Amino acid sequence: MSRSRTPKLRLPLTWEPREYQLDLWNYLLDGGTRADVAAHRRWGKDEVALHWAALAASERPGGYWHLLPEASQGRKAIWDAVNPHTGKKRIEEAFPAELRVARHNSEMKLDLANGSTWQVAGSDNYDSLVGASPAGVVFSEWSLAKPEAWNFIRPILAENGGWALFLWTPRGRGHATRAFESRRRDADWFCLRSPATETDVFTPEQLAKERAELIAEMGSEEEGHARFASEYLVDFDAAAPGAYYASLLGEAEKAGRIGRVPYDPALKVDTAWDLGIDDYTAVWFFQQVGREVRAIDYFETRGEGLQQVVRQAIAARPYVYGTHHLPHDVMVRELGAAGRSRFETLGSLGVRPISVGSACDPEERINAARLMIPIAWFDGQACAVGLERLRAYRKRWSRATRTYAGPLHDEASHGADAFGEFAVNRLGAPAVKRPGRAGLGESLGWMR
């Protein structure tokens, strides 16, 4: 798309898109409704989104949402944000007084003169917006958002002809990179990857300084460069800052241990689980030959009951099963299940024998997984999502203390915890008595 076109700004705004923002701006002006932009820090992603939403809302009455991963982030980054160059609030610059008739601080919502509304909210609480029918939605920091929010909103926009704008900076591979790579092959989508080396926001000297400061801040050249590559070079394959396993998996790929690893019918398949209730449930499928571990398959779902999980993950596969490894909380009795534990429910569904792991520190699972990855082989296709989870599993960064503080709980942690559960058991965690195990017996295959 040509960059010579002059933007058609119809509002009395002093703002104009920068040169490198023109492709996106003109796409939207021309009626484009689906845009996905992976761009470096300080690119001006939210700035473009605010001014586009103001223009769109002034032309088509409707509801418009600006979603951050959490509402609290939206208040800080958007609702209360001040432009340091002008000293004015960013929302007041984008939505001038002539457009606004009311401002609701608690809801972070603006009522506009033509009947439109614009609101900041959290994509983590998207179901609270049930009943609304937005005409335009911005997903800011999309790589950190819950992808289920888009599944909820997509059919609404498809029905009413509304637009969606995804803005993000990569944090390792995940749903955002996966969606981007799929969308860039779709003619209905505008996709842009914009690293700092292709814009004029930073000089080469400033970028070099940013990299050096990140290395100093993280206390590691590897960690600092990984963060620089993600946040400034928009490198999808850079390890997420604080990643536990990314470098080990990179070595596995170079060694040819990620590729085609077929199921061997002569060997039993062991599984390892992380169970979610309203969250993700993850299941890894392993075969072992001596010291060698083969990860042949991976399953993940969200919001499904145990019966559905067993049907989809276990019964649907042609494997002959050995041991099913589950975390210690599988023994907890659930009030909504007639006082039965998930251990008992799974056993009644034919998942047996079950080995219940003892409670352990997350670092124990992580260290066990680090020891297992160098002797593991992965089926790159069947385990694609699982590998993505392992690469993205990372430490939580505390901005207050500027240090890492244990594992981050996000969409990657469930698959990583299931992998670690198997690693701990395989590497000889202390044996514990497992109530009820003897009564379940051993199954040579599904329901056999």
In a domain, 14, yes or no: no
The chain-wide mean pLDDT, for the chain, equals 87
Does position 372 have pLDDT exceeding 90, yes or no? yes
Do 121 and 169 share a domain, yes or no? yes
Pairwise CA distance, residues 301 & 284, whole Å: 12
* Whether this model's pTM surpasses 0.85: no
Mean pLDDT of 408-415: 88
Residues 6+ apart with CB under 8 A from 155: none
- What does each C-alpha distance from 233 to 115, 163, 202, 209, 298 come to in angstroms? 41, 27, 12, 14, 31
Q: Is 396 or 301 the better-scoring residue by pLDDT?
A: 301
Dihedral of the CA atoms 317, 320, 326, 331 (nearest 10)? 100
Contact 153, 127 (CB under 8 A): no
Do 155 and 298 share a domain, yes or no? no
Pairwise CA distance, residues 219 & 403, whole Å: 10
Write down the pLDDT at residue 445. Answer: 36
In a domain, 105, yes or no: yes
Write down the pLDDT at residue 10. Answer: 56
DSSP H or E stretch at residue 379: strand 376-379
Do 190 and 212 share a domain, yes or no? no
Do 272 and 360 share a domain, yes or no? yes
DSSP H or E stretch at residue 324: strand 321-326
Residues 6+ apart with CB under 8 A from 122: 67, 68, 69, 70, 71, 72, 73, 74
In a domain, 361, yes or no: yes
Do 354 and 211 share a domain, yes or no? no
Write down the pLDDT at residue 390. Answer: 95
Mean pLDDT of 288-304: 92
Give the residue from 99, 16, 13 showing the smallest Cα distance to 57.
Answer: 99
Write down the pLDDT at residue 338. Answer: 63
In a domain, 442, yes or no: no
In a domain, 2, yes or no: no
Does position 87 have pLDDT exceeding 80, yes or no? yes
Phi, psi (deg, nearest 5) at residue 233: -95, -5
Do 152 and 274 share a domain, yes or no? no
Mean pLDDT of 71-88: 91
For the segment 17-60, what is each residue's pLDDT rounded down to a tens digit? 999 999 999 999 999 999 999 999 999 999 999 999 999 999 99
In a domain, 133, yes or no: yes
- DSSP character string of 3-41: S-SPP---SS-S----GGGHHHHHHHHTT--EEEEEE-T
Q: How many helices (H) and strands (E) does the chain have?
A: 15, 17
Specify the 3-state DSSP secondary structure of 258.
strand
Mean pLDDT of 411-427: 90
Do 217 and 304 share a domain, yes or no? no
Do 415 and 266 share a domain, yes or no? yes
Domains contained in the chain, number: 3
Q: Which of 241, 269, 302 is the last residue of a domain?
A: 241
Q: What is the CATH number of the domain that holds 383?
A: 3.30.420.280
Give the residue from 190, 147, 142, 159 showing the smallest Cα distance to 62.
Answer: 159
Mean pLDDT of 334-358: 81
Long-range contacts of 394-397 (CB under 8 A, 24+ apart): 394/171, 394/172, 394/240, 394/241, 394/242, 394/243, 394/244, 395/242, 395/244, 396/242, 397/241, 397/242
Residues 6+ apart with CB under 8 A from 333: 339, 340, 341
Do 170 and 111 share a domain, yes or no? yes
For the segment 423-436, what is each residue's pLDDT rounded down to a tens digit? 998 754 333 333 33
Q: Is 250 or 252 the better-scoring residue by pLDDT?
A: 252
Pairwise CA distance, residues 193 & 169, whole Å: 9
Does position 379 have pLDDT exceeding 70, yes or no? yes
Q: How many CB atoms lie within 10 A of CB 283?
A: 27
Do 218 and 335 share a domain, yes or no? no
In a domain, 437, yes or no: no
Sign of CA dihedral 208, 210, 213, 217: negative
For the segment 139-159, what is each residue's pLDDT rounded down to a tens digit? 999 998 988 899 889 999 999
Does position 440 have pLDDT exceeding 50, yes or no? no
For the segment 111-143, what is each residue's pLDDT rounded down to a tens digit? 999 999 999 999 887 777 766 789 999 999 999
Write down the pLDDT at residue 448. Answer: 29
Mean pLDDT of 205-225: 89
Does position 446 have pLDDT exceeding 60, yes or no? no
Give the residue from 416, 418, 411, 417 showing the smallest Cα distance to 176.
Answer: 411
Contact 378, 257 (CB under 8 A): yes
Domain of residue 227, residue span = 199-241
Q: In which region does residue 186 sit, left (phi positive, over 0), alpha (psi from -120 to 50) or beta (all else)?
A: beta
In a domain, 375, yes or no: yes
Residues 6+ apart with CB under 8 A from 359: 328
Do 232 and 136 share a domain, yes or no? no
Contact 393, 369 (CB under 8 A): no
Do 277 and 327 share a domain, yes or no? yes
